Structure 1
Amino acid sequence: MARLVRWTALTAAAALLTVGCGGGSSGDDKDDASPSSGRPSAAPSGVPDALASQSLDWGRCKGTAESPAPDGDWQCATLKAPLNWSEPDGETIDLALIRARATGDERIGSLLFNFGGPGGSGVSMMPSYADSVSSLHQRYDLVSWDPRGVAASEGVRCRADEAIENAESVDSTPDTAAEERAYLKDAADFGQGCEKAAGRLMAHVSTTDTARDMDLMRHVLGDEKMHYFGISYGTELGGVYAHLFPKHVGRVILDAVVDPGADTMGHAENQARGFQRALEDYLRSTGKDPKQGSQEIAALLERLDANPLPTSSPGRKLTQTLALTGIVLPLYSKDGWPTLTSALAAAEEGDGSELLALADGYNERDPSGRYGTTTHSQRVISCLDDKQRPTLEETKRLLPRFEKVSPVFGAFLGWDTAGWCHEWPVAGQRETPQVSASGSAPILVVGNTGDPATPYEGARRMADELGKDVGVVLTWKGEGHGAYGSGSECVDSTVDAYLLEGTVPKDGKVCS
């Protein structure tokens, strides 16, 4: 099973319906070079003049058959960055950018968005998200990009569609020695496919690499300070940026916060706790006892382990892993709860079609059998970031702890720690990210008490590690992955006041 992606609620809910565009421009409808903020921007240290002085050739976005060009005043361009930031004068990589200029007269600058993953395409996502940030668009250029190794920025595809579908039969919670061997072999094969696909890029897609790309981007866009909106994994990226470039931090929002103090095992346990908490909130909303409801779902998954359900999709059955993935998707947003009720009821009646459709949405599988590559890029990035490589024995020893945290999700997330980076071709770089940012301007850290993928506790940890007078926590007592634009006027107005007027709320403000 793919690791439960630290991804945005909008991505999960939209599934296959997001609208995007290819990187670069079409060559016509050209615009002038990067807009200037009217003041000199601080040049990134050690960047060659040829890269620091480049101009972005903004033009109409390209589209593809799978991802049509977006409607509206969207423009695309390509930024050149060093492939290896340790050798900035060497080979370069092309990064795809997208923007829509500020609609009002009192422009502040660029507002850079990262929607999470890692592995999510900002070029595809930004147009879909624009309506949610229309109030910010008046004073900011809305800007996003495909980070290195993602989509139009030399995106990595580790496995062909047919092989991805065949791997659905691999048991993600092995019960026998033979199933354990098959599980680990599949993981190792995936890593070999990534190495073959990524080549020289494999060792240069870390979060630190991308944070350095961001500072070059800030400079080339003409902004003295980095104004940034990071969601889910984007919060980790924002924290790393602030650590590296504290004096360049402008107005930064971190929403749906990844716990920077958690290692590989810690993240898995956090997600088991977060998804179990969200599932119990869902069960309460249906009038069920959370403990009993969880036991019923766990029993369903146990039956599917031995006897997958038939579906309306020719030749495909609902396996235990696919069922769990289908349960995960609607927990990302409270709006998905009725869909989960229907899908679980159908599965109890012997029809796995609805849960399979939800799993396909999460896995970016379209009706023709083509799969997206978000989880491919995610794995390449996170396995370069994370140094931990839990062994089979270590994982099996901790499984009871995971299962105690969550009878539904614990076993899957526990086993995932052994398989995710098993026999990975490149060594990981660190145990946990460095996010301390002494000297930075205040950063607004937004936590949601019902967040399944990035549990609320991570927000306070992020604020504490950013440092005194830097991390400012805003709490929303709500459901779903992410708080801004999720229905809380209190959250939205607080974030807007910070980004538009520079008004920093009191640390610990609560929106209910």
Structure 2
Amino acid sequence: MANPSRLRATALTTSAVLLFAALTGCGGDSEDGDLTHQRLDWKDCPAPSEAEGGGSAPSPLPNGTEWQCATMKAPLDWADPEGDTIGIALIRARADGPADRRIGSLVFNFGGPGGSGVTTLPAFGPDYAALGTRYDLVSFDPRGVGRSAPVKCESDARLDEFFQQDATPDDGAERADLLQRTRQFNAACEKNSRKVLPHVRTTDAARDMDLMRQVLGDRKLYYFGISYGTELGGVYAHLFPKHVGRAVFDAVVDPTQNAEQSALGQAKGFQLALDNFAKDCTSKTTECPIGDTPQEVKERIAKLLADLEQKPIPGISPRELTQTAATNGIAQSLYSKDFWEFLTEGLEEAYDGDGKILMLLSDSMNGRSENGEYSNLTAANAAINCSDDKARYTADYVQRRLPRFRAASDLFGDYLAWGMISCTDWAVPGAADHPDVSARGSAPILVIGNTGDPATPYEGARKMVNALGKGVGVELTYKGQGHGAYDSKNKCVQSAVNGYLLDGKVPKAGLVCS
């Protein structure tokens, strides 16, 4: 999730922390014109592009393994595979174990949609050291993202204005303004990215992954999907069930929900995470600096947001911390328990009139670097979501649904409800109400749900298992906090995942880790 007027996200594991990394060498042409026979020209990775978030070239892994980058050619339009092509940016670290123990390539997608895998994999690379003993660790910028035919919408200056708007309107004039700004953003996407917009659906990315599997030389796809990456993995398994090798879905998107149901689920999920944050702060032996009881913590946050609607406070000059930016920053900090200390500090400072920390968190969610440049995270997220989701909600419809959202969360209800208008007047029709992930005949897929996940609520894991079909999904429950389980470093979770991906040991269905 990010600013609700844009990112209805099924969540961004790439957000906050870590936008640094790399791309891209040029792909060698195939000798016969068949894209499955193309040779990838792996080279040292340069610094990431502005669309990928900027920063420095990726550092080697702790064991000294260097990152390499390449570009794979894929059809712009999979309905016309011999027509125009686009480049799909790839990154890899070669397996560092014995050659005779190498399984193949393990392909990662970290979510969004709209996150750059080329920048995110190096950031998290050390966490996957055990998997790197038998796999080449591989990720990519999906089409429309980063350096893979990136969607372009607004300029950086216009995005600064866009994210300062009031995303929770209280009257007719504010509703009209939000709708007008949304239409302007969407029109800019059409104007600047007309050629690629019809071709960034999740089904297109799934077909790219099957081409990638072949170009990388693997008979089966070995896959690790996180957040939206679980939806992409489910769609791949539906389209190519016989091509699935070993796959893990972590922080699972509920594939049975439409856009409204997903937004409502996130309202409940972020409220749960906020409740857990408030309890954690006030249960410590040292004094909680933002309230004496969980209820007081939440009441003070609500008052802060109400005050910011009337009078923003200084943020990162010349921008002010608005109600929307503060809500966005709070949501960002709930993605991981590791960020709770920053939320506490940010709230403390905001109560004293300084909004810098909350604004930094909000900027991170929106893909804004410290130098004021935006990645194309917002644009790609809009393009993929609006191409996938059939629903087109009106302001009047959202207004009628507000009571349900407010019942789910006083703090995040309006914020997520109004995000549903983000596809208003989008140039490309949406594909379906929800993805089809039925995958009869697929190899087992390990599906991990986290009971405290704010962005992809726990219930989605069971829904994914059921939707994949009998004998495919294997459910694992992690009783923890934050978005995702493997990167929590929980030994039980990592043992189950590593045992399956490295040795093919399918965990017992219903395993619970805490």
Query: Which TM class, normalised by the smaller chain length?
Result: over 0.9
- For the residue of structure 2 that corresponds to 1:186, the secondary structure is helix
1:99 aligns with 2:103: no
- 1:129 aligned partner, one-letter code: F
What is residue 35 of structure 2 aligned with on the other side? 51
The reply on whether 1:60 has 2:83 as its aligned counterpart is no
Q: Mean alpha-carbon deviation: is it higher for 452-461 or for 57-66?
A: 57-66
Q: 2:323 aligns with which of 320, 325, 337?
A: 320
Alignment of 1:497 onto 2:502: no
Query: Aligned letter for 1:59?
Result: K
Matched residue, 1:110: 105
**Partners of 1:454 and 1:360 in 2: how far apart?**
21
| Counterpart position of 1:393 | 396
SS at match of 1:96: strand
> Could you tell me how far 1:178 is from its partner in structure 2?
1.3
Q: Secondary structure at the match of 1:142?
A: strand
Please list the CA deviations of residues 448-484 of structure 1 after superposition, one character each: whole Å capped at 9, or x if unmatched. 0011110100000001100111000111000010100
User: Aligned equivalents of 1:60 and 1:356: distance in 2?
Assistant: 34
Distance 1:233 1:466 in 2: 16
Secondary structure, counterpart of 2:45 in structure 1: strand
Counterpart of 2:489 (choices 482, 487, 490) is 487
Counterpart of 1:305 in structure 2 is: 309
8 Å Cα contact 1:33-1:58 kept in structure 2:
no
1:189-242: CA deviation from partner (whole Å, max 9, x where unpaired): 111111122121110000000000100110111101110000000000000000
The match for 2:19 is 18
- Structure 2 partner of 1:69: 57
Indicate yes or no: 2:67 matched with 1:79.
no
1:460-475 map, 5 Å: 460-475=462-477
Alignment pair present for 1:185 and 2:169: no
1:365 matched to 2:368: yes
1:204-223 aligned at under 5 Å gives the runs: 204-223=199-218
Q: Give the deviation of 1:350 after TM superposition.
A: 2.4
Q: CA deviation at 1:289?
A: 4.4
Question: Contact 2:20/2:123 (CA < 8 Å) preserved in 1?
Answer: yes
Corresponding residue of 1:40: none
C-alpha distance in 2, partners of 1:33/1:183? Answer: 47
Equivalent residues of 1:327, 1:340 under 8 A apart: yes
Question: Does structure 2 conserve the Cα–Cα contact (< 8 Å) formed by 1:13 and 1:333?
Answer: no
Contact 2:151 2:196 in 1 (8 A): no
Q: Are 2:419 and 1:416 aligned?
A: yes
Which segment drifts farther, 284-293 or 170-179?
284-293
Which of 113, 136, 139 is 1:141 aligned to?
Answer: 136
Match for 1:61: what amino acid? Answer: C
2:9 is matched with 5
Alpha-carbon shift at residue 291 of structure 1 (Å): 4.3
Distance in 2, matches of 1:496 and 1:57, equals 30
**Cα displacement (A) at 1:128:** 1.2
Matched, 1:88 2:71: no
Q: Which residue of 2 aligns with 1:477?
A: 479
**More divergent stretch after superposition (105-114 vs 188-197):** 188-197
Counterpart residue type for residue 432 of structure 1: H
Q: Secondary structure at the match of 1:448?
A: strand
Query: Which whole-Å deviations, capped at 9, do the CAs of 1:42-68 have from their partners, x for residues lacking one?
Result: xxxxxx961121111212222257333
Partner of 1:174: 169
Paired residue type of 1:24: G
Give the Cα–Cα distance (whole angstroms) in 2 for the partners of residues 233 and 211 of structure 1.
12
- Distance in structure 1 (CA, Å) of the matches to 2:114 and 2:152: 11
Mapped partners of 2:132, 2:34: distance in 1: 31
Shift of 1:292: 4.4
Q: Which amino acid is the alignment partner of residue 226 of structure 1?
A: L
Q: Distance in 2 between matches of 1:68 and 1:320?
A: 33
Deviation at 1:354, TM superposition (A): 2.1
CA distance in 1, matches of 2:118, 2:380: 15
Partner deviation per Cα, 1:63-106 (whole Å, 9 max, x = no partner): 25733322332111111111111111111111111111110111
Kept in 1: contact 2:43–2:70 (CA 8 A): yes
Give the fraction of aligned pairs with identical amino acids, expressed as a percent: 51
1:194 to 176, 189, 192: 189
The TM-score, its normalising length taken from structure 1, stands at: 0.92
Post-superposition shift, 1:296? 2.9
Q: Give distance in 2, aligned partners of 1:406 and 1:488.
A: 29
8 A Cα contact 1:295 1:407, kept in partner: no
* Aligned residue in 1 for 2:378: 375
User: Which residue in 2 is equivalent to 1:42?
Assistant: none
Establish whether residue 354 from structure 1 lines up as the match of residue 347 from structure 2.
Answer: no
Report the AA paired with residue 25 of structure 2: G
1:416-443 Cα deviation digits (max 9, x unpaired): 112x101111111110000000011110
Work out whether residues 48 and 119 of structure 2, in 8 Å CA contact, stay in contact via their aligned partners in 1.
Answer: no
Pair 350,152 (structure 1): closer, same or farther in 2 beyond 3 Å: same
Aligned to 2:285: none
Determine helix, strand or coil for the equivalent of 1:12: coil
**More off after superposition, 68-77 vs 458-467:** 68-77
In the superposition, relative to structure 1, how do residues 487 and 52 fare at CA in structure 2: closer, same or farther (>3 Å)? Answer: closer
**Alignment deviations for residues 333-358 of structure 1 (CA, whole Å, 9 cap, x no partner):** 11111111111122222222221122
Give, in whole Å, the separation in 1 of the partners of 2:33 and 2:23. 28
RMSD: 1.8
Q: Is the 8 A contact 2:106 2:222 kept in 1?
A: yes
Q: Deviations over 1:272-299 (max 9, x none)?
A: 0111000000000112544443333222
Superposed CA deviations along residues 395-419 of structure 1, whole A, max 9, x for unmatched, are 110001101100000100001112x
Deviation at 1:300, TM superposition (A): 1.8
Structure 2 CA distance for aligned equivalents of residues 356 and 59 of structure 1: 37
Contact 2:367 2:378 in 1 (8 A): no
Which deviates further from its counterpart, 148-157 or 201-210? 148-157
Q: 2:339 aligns with which of 336, 339, 345?
A: 336
Partner of 2:130: helix, strand, or coil?
A: helix
Report the secondary structure of 1:497's partner residue: helix
Question: Is 2:448 aligned against 1:453?
Answer: no
Paired letter, 2:414: A
Cα deviation digits, residues 149-178 of structure 1 (max 9, x gap)? 001101122100111112233210111211
8 Å contact 1:23–1:153 — kept in the other structure?
Answer: no
CA contact (8 A) 1:3 1:413 kept: no
How many pairs align? 489
When structure 1 is superposed on structure 2, of 66-75 and 166-175 the one drifting more is 66-75
